Structures are given as C-alpha cells and as structure tokens.
Amino acid sequence: MTRHLMLAAGFALAATTLHADVILPDDVVTNEYGDIAQSLTGVPGDAAAGRDVMVNRGLGNCIACHQVTALEDEQFHGEVGPSLDGVGARWDEAALRGIVANAKMAFPDSIMPSFYRVSGFTRPGNAFTGRAAEGPLEPLLTAQQVEDVVAYLMTLTE
Amino acid sequence: MRKTSLFGGAAVAAVAIALAGATSADIGDDEELIVNGEIEMIIETAAPEHLQDRLSTIYSGWVFRSDETQAMQADDFDNPGMIFVDQGLEAFETVMGTEGQSCASCHENAESLSEVRSTYPKWDEERGLVQTVEMQIIECQTERMGAEPYGYDSQDMRNMTALISSVGRGIPVNVAIDGPAQETWEQGREIYYTRFGQLELSCANCHEDNYGNLIRADHLSQGQINGFPTYRLRNAGLVSIHNRFRGCIRDTRGETFSVGSPEFVALELYVASRGNGLTVEGPSVRN
C-alpha cells in the first residue's frame, strides 16, 4: 500500500517535472546550423525506446528511408535517405537532435520530414484523413521520443 | 493513440506481403511489354523537351513492378482491369437519358475514340477551359444525351474511361501544353513542385528525385499516368488519376484537393505531359 502510494507520488512528480521542462516545438532554439544544444525534456533519452520509434511504422518509421545495419533484423529498409551507420560518430548530440527535429535547418532541400515542428506547412491535414487539420498540429514525435531517437542514434558509432 | 506513420502503415504492410517471394523489377532490365502479342508499348523513352532539365529518360510505372504484376498486363485474359472495359462497352451501347441516345449513336464504336486518351486533358474552345476525359463524358451526358451524369470517380465512370483508354493502347501520349492550355499547365507544374502536408512532400520529392528507390517496401516509380485508369491489386479495382492524386496528398498528412477540382485537372495535364512519348496502357495493372 505504502509502496503504491509512493509510486503514484513519484509518477505525479515525474509528470509535473516533465511537463515543466518540455520545450514546445515553436520555442526550440537552434544555432545557425540547426543544432539544438538543449535537451527537449531534460530527461535523458532511452536508446531502447528510441530503437522502437525508429522501426515502428506508426512512429518514426526512420528505416522507411534509411538503411541501418544494426537494425537488419527488421524488414524493408528504404533507400531514399543516407545510411545511418556511424551517425553517432559523425555528429554530436546537438546536431542529431536538430536533424531529427527539423532536418531542413541543416539541409534545406532535404525530403526528410520535420519530426518536431508544428507550423509553416502548406495545406496541413488531420493526420492521414486527407481532411484539413483541426486546431493546432501535434508534432510527428513527442519531445521525449525525439530524445529517445537521439539516444539510439548516438549508439550507432560504426 | 496518435498515428504518425510516414506512409500509411497498413498500405505499406500490404505491399510488403504482396512483394514477399516476388522478383523485383527495375530500370535497365531490358524488358519489353507487348500486350496480346500485338500492342507494342513504349515503356522507356527520352523525356519530352520541357522536362529535359530534370529528367533524361521517362519510364512507365510498369517498369518498376514485380515480374508477376508485369505479366498480368501482357495478356487481356490475365488483366483483371479488362472486366471493367467490357462493362464500359456495354454502357457505351446502352441508351441513357431523355434524348434516346447512347454513346454509339454519335461515336459509332469505341475504336473511333482511340485518339482520345493520348491527347487529354485538352483545351476545350467552347467552354474555355482544359477538360479531362471524365469532364468530356459528363458534358456529353448532360448536354447531348439528357442523362444523369456519372459521378466523376464512380464505377460507371471508371468503366467508361477504361474502355476509352483500352482502345487507345499503344498510341504515344501527346498532350498539348502550349497555346490556351499553357496557363493550366503552369498551374499544374506549380502544384507538382509544392511540398504539401505535415510531411512536406511534393510529387517531385518521391517521383522525380527518388524513382527507382525503395521507400520501406514500396518501389517508387516516376508517377506516370499513362496507365490509368489502373487496376491496383491492393484495391482490387480500377483507380482513377484523381483518386491516386488524392491518395498521394493524403499520405503527406496534407489536406487534399477534390476529385474533379480545377487543381487536379491542372495537375493531370502537367503530369500527363511528363509522360509525352510513353504509350497509353490503361487499364494497366499495378500493385
């Protein structure tokens, strides 16, 4: 009983902290290269959760476009973007966070969608319904999902 | 739960299943498509002049499909789209409307319309706009036949456009983009290069910059429309050009334009012109 109460209190505290520290998409600060130095949540990314976001068609679906040798157990890697092998060695965390959040800052012509942006679109829709968006858009990934993906990408050092 | 799949999870999964065990086809396989052993298709040719700063060669969507899918289009007995051509032919010869006329009353037979598919969308002098085949059919029904017009994307309409396309198979696409059609064509080009939706994807991002590449399990084509209406195996039915456009913009997490809208008519003219030189294939077979 006591333990449950403590857990509940812990969750409540975590949720409050999380909420307070999340940087909203429109408030993200980048440098001239699009790097985002500050964590979007203040909570360290979870690489295992990031791996799931990478491969899940309903989440990031990163391998729809990118080949990743470390994920070769997952079927059907795309050929549209560059291989992500070694990205953790080529880029630092701030650069990776910036590319995942809004790749067009670093690469203006990139086909890559911006996973943490909610404004500046032409005819944004209501998810995949084909109808107009109703109300403010949600980013494609949550702030913590971006942090998780960045944590996973940092493990790709070879 | 929010659905944030990049390209529609269910659809991609379906392709994955369809592709399993299939041999993939690609550019440079040196294949040829001769339908029924007699209609020679141009599946690869030099890009039309207006496109040459972007592409050197244009390819029919047939080139990108699996051997099994390709084979289905080579013989009308194996092409599931031909059932709808038969239904279109029946309607062609059936009186509709208050004037006691069928299509055949004016056009004698479907073969007399063999030049239609390759030259539409086309400027209509009388109405002062670019017309698609569907718009022309609706005009005949309402202004000559006294008939209730087909819905733009209805099964009856797709049957009729399949018939009209089928009798034009093997004829190179040659839509006019100059003169009075030029303004509409330019509007279509503008739409083609606009990055729509929350994923910010233009037609060109996938079909000009990445044709031949895999996007998850799907093999990107040049997005040519010379094979429409097309029998899509995943839909188990005929799909019209505007329906396909709508699906693509929907997959950008965008607000689509409507089937039959001026925007899609303009886009159809522009995309058709990117295929000038490929042969009419409809009803083609695609995954």
Q: Report the pLDDT averaged over residues B96-124.
A: 97
Mean pLDDT estimate for chain B:
92
- Quickly state the pLDDT bin for B19 (edges 50, 70, 90): very low
pLDDT value, residue B15:
39
Give me the interface pTM, i.e. the ipTM.
Answer: 0.87
- Closest residue on chain B to A141 (Cα): B4
Query: Which of B1, B3, B6 to probe by mutation at the A interface, max A CB count within 10 Å?
Result: B6
Find chain B residues with C-beta within 8 A of A60's C-beta.
4, 6
The 3-state DSSP class for residue B151 equals: coil
User: Burial, B220: exposed, middle or buried (Cβ in 10 Å; 0-12, 13-18, 19+)?
Assistant: buried
pLDDT (tens digit per residue) in A64-122: 999 999 999 999 999 999 999 999 999 999 999 999 999 999 999 999 999 999 999 99
How far apart (Å, rounded) are the C-alpha atoms in residues A73 and A52? 13
Query: Which of B4, B202, B264 to probe by mutation at the A interface, max A CB count within 10 Å?
Result: B4
Single out the residue of A78, A126, A122, A130 nearest to residue B245, CA to CA. Answer: A130
Least confident of A109-123, B26-40, B121-135, B174-188: B26-40
Judge whether B57 is closer than 8 Å to chain A, CB to CB.
Answer: no
- Quickly state the pLDDT bin for B30 (edges 50, 70, 90): confident
Q: What is the pTM of this model?
A: 0.90
- Residue A43 sits at the vertex; the CA angle it makes with A39 and A49, to the nearest 5 degrees, is 100
Cα radius of gyration (chain A):
17
CA B203 to chain centroid: 14
Q: Is-catalytic flag, B140?
A: no
